[in-house]
Amino acid sequence: MFNAETQVRVRYGETDQMGVVYYGNYASYYEVARVECIRALGLSYRALEEEGFMMPVLENHSKYLGPAKYDELLTIKVSIREKPKVRITFYCDIFNEKNELINEGRTILVFIDKNTRKPCKIPTQMETLLSRYFDE
Protein backbone atom coordinates (compact mmCIF):
# COMPACT_ATOMS: atom_id res chain seq x y z
CA MET A 1 0.00 0.00 0.00
CA PHE A 2 1.27 3.44 -0.89
CA ASN A 3 -0.09 6.53 0.86
CA ALA A 4 0.25 10.22 0.23
CA GLU A 5 -1.44 13.37 1.43
CA THR A 6 -2.16 16.70 -0.16
CA GLN A 7 -4.24 19.79 0.45
CA VAL A 8 -6.52 21.92 -1.67
CA ARG A 9 -8.21 25.15 -0.73
CA VAL A 10 -11.81 25.49 -1.95
CA ARG A 11 -12.16 28.20 -4.61
CA TYR A 12 -15.20 30.46 -4.84
CA GLY A 13 -15.98 29.26 -8.35
CA GLU A 14 -16.07 25.68 -7.07
CA THR A 15 -19.08 26.37 -4.85
CA ASP A 16 -22.62 26.45 -6.20
CA GLN A 17 -25.75 28.22 -5.04
CA MET A 18 -26.27 25.57 -2.33
CA GLY A 19 -23.32 27.31 -0.67
CA VAL A 20 -21.00 24.30 -0.80
CA VAL A 21 -18.65 22.67 -3.30
CA TYR A 22 -20.50 21.46 -6.42
CA TYR A 23 -20.48 17.67 -6.61
CA GLY A 24 -18.77 17.68 -9.99
CA ASN A 25 -15.72 19.54 -8.70
CA TYR A 26 -14.50 16.69 -6.49
CA ALA A 27 -13.17 14.94 -9.59
CA SER A 28 -10.71 17.79 -9.92
CA TYR A 29 -9.65 17.37 -6.27
CA TYR A 30 -9.08 13.64 -6.83
CA GLU A 31 -6.97 14.53 -9.85
CA VAL A 32 -4.80 16.86 -7.76
CA ALA A 33 -4.43 14.08 -5.18
CA ARG A 34 -3.44 11.48 -7.81
CA VAL A 35 -0.87 13.78 -9.34
CA GLU A 36 0.66 14.60 -5.94
CA CYS A 37 0.56 10.89 -5.05
CA ILE A 38 2.59 10.10 -8.17
CA ARG A 39 4.97 12.96 -7.32
CA ALA A 40 5.37 11.64 -3.76
CA LEU A 41 6.38 8.33 -5.31
CA GLY A 42 9.21 10.13 -7.13
CA LEU A 43 7.60 10.45 -10.56
CA SER A 44 5.68 13.08 -12.50
CA TYR A 45 2.47 12.45 -14.37
CA ARG A 46 3.49 15.13 -16.86
CA ALA A 47 6.72 13.25 -17.54
CA LEU A 48 4.83 9.95 -17.91
CA GLU A 49 2.70 11.58 -20.62
CA GLU A 50 5.78 12.98 -22.33
CA GLU A 51 7.31 9.47 -22.29
CA GLY A 52 4.31 8.12 -24.17
CA PHE A 53 1.81 7.00 -21.54
CA MET A 54 -1.71 8.23 -20.94
CA MET A 55 -3.94 7.39 -18.03
CA PRO A 56 -7.60 7.92 -18.92
CA VAL A 57 -10.20 7.26 -16.26
CA LEU A 58 -12.32 4.09 -16.59
CA GLU A 59 -14.49 4.44 -13.51
CA ASN A 60 -15.12 6.91 -10.74
CA HIS A 61 -17.11 6.33 -7.59
CA SER A 62 -17.85 9.11 -5.12
CA LYS A 63 -19.62 9.25 -1.78
CA TYR A 64 -20.57 12.68 -0.49
CA LEU A 65 -20.65 12.44 3.31
CA GLY A 66 -20.63 16.11 4.16
CA PRO A 67 -20.25 19.54 2.58
CA ALA A 68 -17.02 21.35 1.76
CA LYS A 69 -17.24 25.08 2.29
CA TYR A 70 -15.70 28.02 0.52
CA ASP A 71 -12.07 28.75 1.51
CA GLU A 72 -11.76 25.55 3.54
CA LEU A 73 -8.37 23.91 3.40
CA LEU A 74 -9.23 20.31 2.60
CA THR A 75 -6.86 17.44 3.31
CA ILE A 76 -6.88 14.56 0.86
CA LYS A 77 -5.46 11.21 1.89
CA VAL A 78 -4.81 9.20 -1.23
CA SER A 79 -3.72 5.59 -1.45
CA ILE A 80 -2.87 2.87 -3.92
CA ARG A 81 -4.07 -0.30 -2.20
CA GLU A 82 -3.68 -2.93 -4.88
CA LYS A 83 -0.55 -3.50 -6.94
CA PRO A 84 -1.36 -2.02 -10.35
CA LYS A 85 -0.89 -3.92 -13.61
CA VAL A 86 -2.76 -2.51 -16.61
CA ARG A 87 -5.13 -0.63 -14.35
CA ILE A 88 -4.48 1.44 -11.26
CA THR A 89 -6.98 2.42 -8.57
CA PHE A 90 -6.62 5.50 -6.39
CA TYR A 91 -8.62 5.84 -3.16
CA CYS A 92 -9.22 9.36 -1.87
CA ASP A 93 -10.50 10.32 1.57
CA ILE A 94 -11.19 14.03 1.89
CA PHE A 95 -11.26 15.71 5.30
CA ASN A 96 -12.51 19.19 6.17
CA GLU A 97 -10.78 21.61 8.57
CA LYS A 98 -12.45 19.89 11.56
CA ASN A 99 -10.86 16.64 10.38
CA GLU A 100 -14.24 15.17 9.49
CA LEU A 101 -14.34 12.76 6.56
CA ILE A 102 -16.57 14.48 4.01
CA ASN A 103 -15.89 12.61 0.78
CA GLU A 104 -14.70 9.24 -0.46
CA GLY A 105 -13.54 8.69 -4.01
CA ARG A 106 -12.33 5.63 -5.86
CA THR A 107 -10.98 6.16 -9.34
CA ILE A 108 -9.82 3.46 -11.74
CA LEU A 109 -7.48 4.45 -14.56
CA VAL A 110 -5.88 2.43 -17.32
CA PHE A 111 -2.38 2.74 -18.74
CA ILE A 112 -2.49 3.50 -22.45
CA ASP A 113 0.38 3.51 -24.94
CA LYS A 114 0.11 6.88 -26.70
CA ASN A 115 1.29 5.46 -30.02
CA THR A 116 -0.89 2.39 -30.28
CA ARG A 117 -3.74 3.92 -28.23
CA LYS A 118 -4.03 0.46 -26.64
CA PRO A 119 -3.89 -0.53 -22.97
CA CYS A 120 -0.40 -1.43 -21.82
CA LYS A 121 1.45 -2.52 -18.69
CA ILE A 122 2.28 -0.03 -15.95
CA PRO A 123 5.49 1.89 -16.84
CA THR A 124 8.49 -0.07 -15.54
CA GLN A 125 9.86 2.83 -13.51
CA MET A 126 6.54 3.24 -11.74
CA GLU A 127 6.26 -0.49 -11.10
CA THR A 128 9.73 -0.55 -9.57
CA LEU A 129 9.06 2.41 -7.30
CA LEU A 130 5.76 0.92 -6.16
CA SER A 131 7.05 -2.64 -5.65
CA ARG A 132 8.54 -1.93 -2.22
CA TYR A 133 5.08 -1.02 -0.93
CA PHE A 134 3.48 -4.33 -1.91
CA ASP A 135 4.33 -7.80 -0.66
CA GLU A 136 4.79 -10.39 -3.36
Q: How far is the CB of 70 from a copy of itself (least distance, A)?
A: 6
CA max distance for the chain: 49
- Asked whether position 40 contacts a copy of itself by CB under 8 A, the answer is no
- Asked whether position 18 contacts a copy of itself by CB under 8 A, the answer is yes
What single string gives the DSSP state of each residue in 59-126? EEEEEE-S---TT-EEEEEEEE-S--SSEEEEEEEEE-TT--EEEEEEEEEE-EETTTTEE-PPPHHH
- Asked whether position 15 contacts a copy of itself by CB under 8 A, the answer is yes
- Asked whether position 23 contacts a copy of itself by CB under 8 A, the answer is yes
Query: Which region among 52-60, 75-83, 90-98, 122-130 touches a copy of itself (by CB under 8 A)?
Result: 52-60
Q: How far is the CB of 66 from a copy of itself (least distance, A)?
A: 10
d(CA 76, CA 117): 31
Residues 107-136 that bind a copy of itself (CB under 8 A): none
